[in-house]
Amino acid sequence: MTQRFMHCRSPNTIMRNTLVALIVAPAIAGAQTVIVAGNKPANTVTLVDLASGATLATLPTGLGPHEAAASRDGKWAVITDYGTGPNPGSSLTLVDVGARAVAAKIDIKPYRRPHGVQFLPGDSLLAVSVEADSAVLIVHIPSRTVRRVIKTHQAGSHMVSVRRDGLMGYTANIGSASVTELNIATGATRSLAVANQPEGVGVRPDGREVWAASNTAGVISVVDIASWSVAANIPVGERAYRISFTPDGVLAVASLTASSRVRIYDAVTRAEIATVAISGTSSGTDLAPAGGAQPVGIAYSSDSRFAFVACQGINAVAVIDLRERKLMKTIPVGPGPDAVAVAERR
């Protein structure tokens, strides 16, 4: 069932938005939840208070901020400075969420095109994919240094997803049509062929499956880790730009950029549960020729109740109630947001 959201501020809309704030804000008692959105064409990151929708700060990043991650304690956010077409990036922007300030620009030279990023357990280490170097870097936040380089030996290692225990990571390799498994501790790798041009990738929190979304085949390849084989190809019918799992491992969510929708799946049965439309108009892009909201990056509340989806077409982050399977509201951020993370400050 598709749900639509009207932008007129009717009494019902105002009441619903108030209820959203009351439901979402107490996800952690006494905590502030901050939405972190990387605005790709503006080279900025916007921090927004979820409860009020107020912009807390807009801060500079490096060129082309593409992906974002937040530490589990909500203290830090990291933005990957991918660069622009002629200017590959070689830095990470470290944001102190509480201070609402850029704490450091972490130099990762000679590695180029940092893209996917995820904190490892303990919040002192990051896994960062560097597309131009076919590798994943393990970056130490306190010392601002690269501690380990794990080569995938695959072309276009774009996104990275790390298992909940932090022991294994997975990349989607666009150019090699493969998924690579990386042992974070030893650096050992293995790769498996999947559907053509995989970009979005997510590992189920229990570590049993990895899902990789094809840019061109209109499917999500499901990799069974134990047998290291493709167990299924879930038909999508269009490009799923991102695919990831809720923290509790119950659901998987895909952003369908061209049609301005997100699709929700049962993570175990792989069955489609709902498709939620995000309304709004914009000019067309390569990702979405017809324009629209253009949902891209996805993040979640720690209780797995809400998905937060960056919508580059309408310069906003959509809040989707995964229990009710509907769009609750959109929160304005900066222009062309792609990266999104949720910092729940304890």
pLDDT tens sequence across 258-290: 999 999 999 999 999 999 999 998 888 888 888
pLDDT of residue 287: 87
Q: How far apart are CA 198 and CA 148, in angstroms?
A: 25
pLDDT band at 225 (very low <50, low <70, confident <90, very high): very high
pLDDT of residue 29: 44
pLDDT band at 31 (very low <50, low <70, confident <90, very high): confident
For the chain, which residues make up each domain, given as ranges?
11-345
Q: How far is CA 23 from CA 52, 69, 110, 303, 328, in A?
A: 12, 23, 45, 12, 11
Strand order in the sheet with 261-266: 242-245, 251-256, 261-266, 272-277
Q: Contact at 8 Å (CB) between 154 and 180?
A: yes
pLDDT of residue 11: 45
pLDDT of residue 297: 98
pLDDT band at 122 (very low <50, low <70, confident <90, very high): very high
* Tokens matching residue 182: 């990386």
pLDDT of residue 30: 54
Higher pLDDT residue, 3 or 21?
21
pLDDT band at 27 (very low <50, low <70, confident <90, very high): very low
pTM recorded for the entire structure: 0.91
CATH of domain 11-345: 2.130.10.10
Q: Which residues pair with 300 in a beta bridge?
A: 307
pLDDT of residue 14: 43
